[in-house]
Amino acid sequence: MPKKRRRGTIRIETIFRRYNRKYFGGRCPVVPIRLVALDPRELGCLDSWRSPGGRSEIRKILITRKLKNWPIFIRMVLLHEMTHQILFARGVRGAGDHGQNFRAERKRLMLAGAYDNLL
């Protein structure tokens, strides 16, 4: 039997679809999103796999379950991981780091209003 959600809660996948459509033009590949136990220093990460051809493929977005009662922080971490994900999807070199391409994409998201009501 599926676990019941509290009334008024929104599934993370619903938020992902909304952000993907509104801020990424639907270009982020749909992957499972899981609240899991992560290293205490991490709030989120992408679970990726490298194909025999050498291309990385994102399999899941992982967010620390310590944030389960903090929906604003979950949304912020989700946007952060989606930023990495879109850079991977575009084939950007260094998509997993926080360099110039990441910062430019984050700035674009801020100007588009993605972080309104979160910060």
The full set of domains in the chain, from first to last, is 12-112 (3.30.2010)
Q: What is the pLDDT confidence band of residue 53, given thresholds at 50, 70 and 90?
A: confident
CA distance 16 to 40: 24
C-beta separation of 13 from 35 below 8 A: no
Q: Of 92 and 55, which is predicted with more confidence?
A: 92
* Exposed/middle/buried for residue 24 (C-beta within 10 Å: 0-12, 13-18, 19+): buried
Express each pLDDT in 5-18 by its tens digit: 555 456 999 999 99
pLDDT tens readout for residues 70-93: 999 999 999 999 999 999 999 898
Average pLDDT, the chain: 89
**What per-residue confidence (pLDDT) applies to 52?**
75
Check if the beta carbon of residue 78 is closer than 8 Å to that of residue 33: yes
**Residue 55 scores a pLDDT above 80:** no
Which residues contact residue 16 at a Cβ distance below 8 angstroms, ignoring those fewer than 6 apart? 28, 30, 33, 61, 78, 82
In this prediction, residues 49-56 reach a mean pLDDT of 72
Torsion angle defined by CA atoms of residues 8, 14, 19 and 22, in that order, rounded to the nearest 10 degrees: -100
Q: What is the pTM of this model?
A: 0.87
pLDDT of residue 93: 87
